[in-house]
Amino acid sequence: MGLTASDLAKACGVSRSTVNRALLGEGRINKDTKKMILEKAKELGYKPNLLARSLAMGKSMTIGVIVADLNNQYFAGIIDAVGKRVKNEKYLLNVTFHEKSKAAEKELIEKLVSFQASGIIISPINKGREFEKYLKELPIPTVLIGNDLKRTTSVGIDEYQATVDAVKYIMQKGYRNVVFCCPPLKDDDGKNNLGHVLRLKGYREVMKSCGLKSCCIYGDDYLPQIEKNIKKSAGKPAYLCSGDIFANEVMTFLHQKGYMVKRDFGVMGFDYVKSYQNGIVNITTIDNHISAIGDKAAEILLDMINGKLARDEYHHEIIGYDIKEGNTL
């Protein structure tokens, strides 16, 4: 590869450490020597080897972000926000995807640790006490997103309460037949991730408290199930989908089957994503302020990295949410 600091030192007729001082701009060094070295460095196109630097320093000035994938714009929004927050710091962002595989997620974490990343932001697929312990024992801090595992630092909304509000809102619109849809956001054990579980719980409880029967549709083949459901529905059904991406899928599917939103069924989503709004069809949804989530997660992580926030305490940041009125109910 390229020029090393030693080469540069030779070219300048000084020692390595002098070159170093010039480059890092610290320590006592003659102004002229410094200038000379810097000029020479530029002239020869010297570029420090970050790998070597990181090894020597024991850290690589990298912040890792691990999410499921980018099919769901929800993650794109979060990553964008994290990127903006970290931009002015000297860190390099490193985004990777676990694709809902627990093993892959752990592998990615290990790689980041091994590359001496300074910290990681994760929208995890793993869960449970063991995972919490695993995270805790990592040599670098982590912040989880959308998944308030008790013994970890995390940021997200109150999924339970948000769902309760959503269901109430739907009822207020006159629906009594509210169906919860939570399709393929399962891990490799077939279990849904915590955020969805909390939403489901919220849904079940309001329904119960209203004396209504819960009905939950999930699984990879949820669309055919929905068709069956709408066919035998007594009153006009409202589909509360655990994600705008699913709400749009449901709506598109039912339109193809000849049903018409609002006339024949209602739809509400979650995780407000702008692209599902176009002025004619605007999906009603919960805006959980994903950019605030990403921003806050990055902020907390930076604070932990800089020692401003204790790593051995758990910080739970709850972000606000609102109902975004559309015209699909």
Partner DNA sequence: TTGAAAGCGCTAACAT
Partner DNA sequence: ATGTTAGCGCTTTCAA
Site for its own copies in 145-174 (CB under 8 A): none
Q: Which of 25, 56, 232, 274 binds DNA (CB under 7 A)?
A: 56
Q: Which of 44, 76, 212, 309 contacts its own copies by CB under 8 A?
A: 76
Q: At closest approach, how far in Å is the CB of 328 from its own copies?
A: 10
Residue 207 to residue 229: CA distance in whole angstroms: 17
Residue 98 binding DNA, by CB under 7 A: no
Token pair belonging to 97: 């995807």
Does 101 contact DNA by CB under 7 A?
no
Task: Report the residue number, 60 or 200, with the smaller CB distance to its own copies.
Answer: 60
Residue 5 binds DNA, judged by CB under 7 A: yes
Helix, strand, or coil (residue 262): coil
Q: Measure CA 95 to chain center.
A: 10
Pairing of the two strands 322-324 and 177-182: unpaired
Q: Which stretch binds its own copies (CB under 8 A): 29-37, 96-104, 120-128, 209-217?
A: 96-104
Tell me the two tokens of residue 270.
């979650």
Alpha helices (H) along the chain: 5-12, 16-24, 31-44, 50-57, 73-86, 102-114, 129-136, 159-172, 194-209, 222-231, 244-256, 290-305
41-55: burial string, b at 16+ Cβ within 10 Å, e else: beeeebeeeeeeebe
Token code pair at residue 239: 């589909």
Residues 25, 4, 20: CA angle, nearest 5 degrees: 20
Kind plus residue range of the DSSP H or E element containing 178:
strand 177-182
Residue 308 contacts its own copies per CB under 8 A: no
From residue 220 to residue 259, the character string flagging contacts with its own copies as x (rule: CB under 8 A) and all else as - is -------------------------x--x--xxxxxx---
Q: Which of 11, 38, 44, 49 is the binder for DNA (CB under 7 A)?
A: 49
Handedness of CA 23, 29, 35, 37 (dihedral sign): negative
What lies within 8 Å, CB to CB, of 11 at 6+ separation is 40, 44
179 is a contact residue toward its own copies (CB under 8 A): no
Of the listed pieces 13-21, 161-169, 192-200, 248-256, which binds DNA according to CB under 7 A? Answer: 13-21
Q: What residue 33 binds from its own copies, DNA, none (CB within 5 to 8 A, per partner kind)?
A: DNA
Query: How many whole angstroms from its chain centre is CA 60?
Result: 22
Return d(Cα 191, Cα 186) in angstroms, integer: 5
Binding mask 2-41 for its own copies (x = CB under 8 A): x---------------------------------------
Interface residues toward DNA, by CB under 7 A: 1, 4-6, 14-18, 20-21, 23-24, 27-30, 33-34, 48-49, 52-53, 55-58
The contact set with its own copies (CB under 8 A) reads 1-2, 47-52, 54-55, 58, 60, 69-71, 73, 76-77, 79-80, 83, 87, 92-97, 99, 108, 110-111, 113-116, 139, 245, 248, 251-256, 261, 273, 275-281
